[in-house]
Structure 1
Amino acid sequence: MKSCQPLVPSVRCGAMGAAVAHRSAQGGATVHTRIPRSPRPLLVGAALAALVGGLVVPAAAADSRTAAEAAGGSATAVTRAGLDPALSAGRGSWQPVVEHEAENAVTTGDVIGPGREAYTLEAEASGRTAVRLDAPGEYVEVTLTQPADAITVRYALPDAPGGGGLDATLRVTAPKVRLDLPVTSRYSWLYNQYPFTNDPDADLLHPDWWLAECGCVPAEQPEPVQISKPFRPFHFYAEQRALLGRTVPAGAKIRITLPAGAEVDWAVVDVVDLQRVGGPRPAPYRAVDATRYGADPTGRKDSARAIEKAIVVARHADRPVYVPAGTYRVDRHIVVDDVTIAGAGSWWTIFRGRSVALDEPAPDGSTHTGVGFYGKDAADGGSHDVVLKDFAIVGDVTERIDDDQVNGVGGALSDSVLNRLYIQRTKVGVWVDGPMSDLVVQNSVIVDQLADGLNFHTGVTDSVAVNNVVRNTGDDALAMWADGTTNARNVFRRNTVQSPTLANGIAIYGGTDITVAKNLVADPLREGSALHLGTRFGAEPFAGTTRLQRNTTVRAGGRELNWDIGMGALWVYALERSIDSRVLVRGEHYLDSTYNAIMLVTEYGKKDELSISGLEFANIQVDGAGTSVVSARTAGSASFRNVDVRNVGWAGVNNCGAFTWDFEKGSEFTLVDLGDNDGTTTTPWEPGPANWLSRYTPNTISCQDRPAVVAPPAPSPWTQP
Structure 2
Amino acid sequence: MGALALAGAVLGALLGGGPAAADGAARATGTGSAVGAAAGGKGGGGPVVTRAGLDPALVAGRGADVAFTEQEAENAVTDGTVIGPDRTAYTLPAEASGRRAVRLTPGKYVEFTLPRAANAITVRYSIPDAPGGGGITAPLEVTVNGRAKKTMTLTSQYSWLYNQYPFSNDPGAGLLHPDWWITECSCVPAATTPAPVIAKPFRPSHFYDEQRLLLGSTYRAGDKVRLTAPARGAAAWTVIDLLDSELVGAPHVRLVAANVLAFGADPSGRRDSAPAFDRAIAYAKRKNLTVYIPPGTYQVNRHIVVDDVTIEGAGNWYTIIKGREVALETPAPDGSTHTGVGFYGKDAAAGGSRNVHLSGFAIEGDVRGRIDDDQVNGVGGAMSDSTIEGLHIRHTKVGMWFDGPMRNLRVRNTIIVDQIADALNFHTGVTDSVVTNTFVRNTGDDGLAMWSDKVANARNTFARNTVQTPVLANGIAVYGGTDTTLSGNLVADPIREGSAIQVGSRFGAEPFTGYLRITDNTTVRAGTYELNWNIGLGAIWFYALERSIDADIEVAGDHFLDNTYNAIMLVSEWSVRDLYSIGDVRFKDIRVDGTGTSVVSARVKGSASFENVDARNVGAVGVNNCGAFGFPATGSEFSLTDRGGNDGGGTAGPWLAPWLLPNTITCDDRPPVVPPPPPSAW
Q: Return the TM-score normalized by structure 2.
A: 0.94
Question: Which of the residues 224, 234, 244 maps onto 1:273?
Answer: 244
Question: Which of the residues 178, 184, 188 maps onto 2:155?
Answer: 184
Aligned-partner SS, 1:229 = coil
- Give the corresponding residue for 2:29: 57
The CA deviation string for residues 663-693 of structure 1, in whole angstroms up to 9 with x for no partner, is 2x1110000000000015xxxxx83553345
Is the alpha carbon distance of 1:307 and 1:87 closer, same or farther for their aligned partners in structure 2, counting shifts above 3 Å?
Answer: same
Instruction: Tell whether 2:376 aligns with 1:428.
Output: no
Letter in 2 for 1:540: E
Question: Which of the residues 569, 585, 589 maps onto 2:539?
Answer: 569
Number of residue-to-residue matches in the alignment: 660
Instruction: Tell whether 2:505 aligns with 1:541.
Output: no
User: Aligned runs of 1:545-564 on 2, under 5 Å?
Assistant: 545-564=515-534
Deviation at 1:54, TM superposition (A): 5.5
Question: Which of the residues 39, 53, 73 maps onto 1:82?
Answer: 53
Aligned-partner SS, 1:67 = coil
Is the alpha carbon distance of 1:133 and 1:437 closer, same or farther for their aligned partners in structure 2, counting shifts above 3 Å?
Answer: same
- Give the corresponding residue for 1:637: 607
Is the alpha carbon distance of 1:167 and 1:502 closer, same or farther for their aligned partners in structure 2, counting shifts above 3 Å?
Answer: same
Instruction: Tell whether 2:167 aligns with 1:196.
Output: yes
The CA deviation string for residues 544-601 of structure 1, in whole angstroms up to 9 with x for no partner, is 1101000000000122122111100000000000001111100000000000000100
Is the alpha carbon distance of 1:222 and 1:619 closer, same or farther for their aligned partners in structure 2, counting shifts above 3 Å?
Answer: farther
8 Å Cα contact 1:542-1:579 kept in structure 2: yes
- Give the corresponding residue for 2:421: 451
Instruction: Tell whether 2:274 aligns with 1:310.
Output: no
Letter in 2 for 1:463: S
CA distance in 1, matches of 2:143, 2:88: 34
8 Å Cα contact 2:572-2:581 kept in structure 1: yes
8 Å Cα contact 2:542-2:570 kept in structure 1: yes
Deviation at 1:222, TM superposition (A): 5.0
User: Aligned runs of 1:354-503 on 2, under 5 Å?
Assistant: 354-503=324-473
CA distance in 2, matches of 1:648, 1:172: 43
Question: Which of the residues 303, 317, 321 maps onto 1:347?
Answer: 317
- Give the corresponding residue for 2:9: none
8 Å Cα contact 1:92-1:467 kept in structure 2: yes
Is the alpha carbon distance of 1:51 and 1:232 closer, same or farther for their aligned partners in structure 2, counting shifts above 3 Å?
Answer: closer
Letter in 1 for 2:673: V
Superposed CA RMSD:
2.0
Letter in 1 for 2:646: N
Aligned-partner SS, 2:527 = coil
CA distance in 2, matches of 1:54, 1:95: 34
The CA deviation string for residues 599-633 of structure 1, in whole angstroms up to 9 with x for no partner, is 10011111111100130000000000000000000
- Give the corresponding residue for 2:298: 328
- Give the corresponding residue for 1:701: 665
- The unaligned stretches of length 5 or more in structure 2 are 1-21
- Give the corresponding residue for 2:639: 670
- Give the corresponding residue for 1:26: none
CA distance in 2, matches of 1:217, 1:703: 26
Question: Which of the residues 208, 214, 223 maps onto 1:252?
Answer: 223
- Give the corresponding residue for 1:206: 177
8 Å Cα contact 1:343-1:389 kept in structure 2: yes
The CA deviation string for residues 87-125 of structure 1, in whole angstroms up to 9 with x for no partner, is 111100001110000000001100000000100001000
The CA deviation string for residues 239-291 of structure 1, in whole angstroms up to 9 with x for no partner, is 001100011100111001101212211000001000011221111x6211110
Aligned-partner SS, 1:250 = coil
8 Å Cα contact 2:32-2:678 kept in structure 1: no
Percent identity of paired positions between Structure 1 and Structure 2: 62
* Highest RCO, 1 vs 2 (Cα 8 Å, sep ≥ 6): 1
Question: Which of the residues 64, 74, 81 maps onto 1:93?
Answer: 64
8 Å Cα contact 1:65-1:106 kept in structure 2: no
CA distance in 1, matches of 2:45, 2:251: 32
The CA deviation string for residues 287-318 of structure 1, in whole angstroms up to 9 with x for no partner, is 11110000100001000000110001100011
CA distance in 1, matches of 2:315, 2:235: 33
8 Å Cα contact 1:64-1:107 kept in structure 2: no
- Give the corresponding residue for 1:39: none
The CA deviation string for residues 628-683 of structure 1, in whole angstroms up to 9 with x for no partner, is 000000010000000000011012310100111112x1110000000000015xxx
Question: Which of the residues 567, 573, 576 maps onto 1:603?
Answer: 573
- Give the corresponding residue for 2:4: none
- Give the corresponding residue for 1:47: none
Aligned-partner SS, 2:39 = helix
Question: Which of the residues 579, 582, 595 maps onto 1:625?
Answer: 595
Q: Return the TM-score normalized by structure 1.
A: 0.89
CA distance in 2, matches of 1:74, 1:344: 38
- The unaligned stretches of length 5 or more in structure 1 are 1-49, 681-685
260-269 or 56-65, which moves further after superposition? 56-65
Aligned-partner SS, 2:94 = helix
Deviation at 1:703, TM superposition (A): 1.0
CA distance in 1, matches of 2:190, 2:657: 34
Deviation at 1:523, TM superposition (A): 0.4
Letter in 2 for 1:577: R
Question: Which of the residues 154, 161, 180 maps onto 2:124?
Answer: 154
Aligned-partner SS, 1:513 = strand
Instruction: Tell whether 2:621 aligns with 1:651.
Output: yes
CA distance in 1, matches of 2:230, 2:493: 30
Instruction: Tell whether 2:98 aligns with 1:127.
Output: yes
Instruction: Tell whether 2:87 aligns with 1:116.
Output: yes
Deviation at 1:51, TM superposition (A): 8.2
8 Å Cα contact 2:323-2:366 kept in structure 1: yes
User: Aligned runs of 1:158-173 on 2, under 5 Å?
Assistant: 158-173=128-143
Aligned-partner SS, 2:664 = coil
Deviation at 1:701, TM superposition (A): 1.1
CA distance in 2, matches of 1:595, 1:60: 13
Aligned-partner SS, 2:613 = strand
Question: Which of the residues 271, 281, 293 maps onto 1:301?
Answer: 271
Aligned-partner SS, 2:27 = coil
8 Å Cα contact 1:592-1:712 kept in structure 2: yes
8 Å Cα contact 1:512-1:544 kept in structure 2: yes
- Give the corresponding residue for 1:505: 475
Is the alpha carbon distance of 1:157 and 1:693 closer, same or farther for their aligned partners in structure 2, counting shifts above 3 Å?
Answer: farther
Is the alpha carbon distance of 1:389 and 1:191 closer, same or farther for their aligned partners in structure 2, counting shifts above 3 Å?
Answer: same
CA distance in 2, matches of 1:222, 1:598: 39
Letter in 2 for 1:86: A
8 Å Cα contact 1:653-1:693 kept in structure 2: no
8 Å Cα contact 1:489-1:512 kept in structure 2: yes
CA distance in 1, matches of 2:468, 2:295: 29
- Give the corresponding residue for 2:232: 261
CA distance in 2, matches of 1:608, 1:62: 43
The CA deviation string for residues 17-61 of structure 1, in whole angstroms up to 9 with x for no partner, is xxxxxxxxxxxxxxxxxxxxxxxxxxxxxxxxx984452323599
- Give the corresponding residue for 1:15: none
- Give the corresponding residue for 2:6: none
Instruction: Tell whether 2:496 aligns with 1:526.
Output: yes
Aligned-partner SS, 2:425 = strand
8 Å Cα contact 1:174-1:253 kept in structure 2: yes
CA distance in 1, matches of 2:199, 2:664: 44
CA distance in 1, matches of 2:477, 2:423: 11
Aligned-partner SS, 1:379 = helix
CA distance in 1, matches of 2:622, 2:391: 46
CA distance in 2, matches of 1:672, 1:162: 56
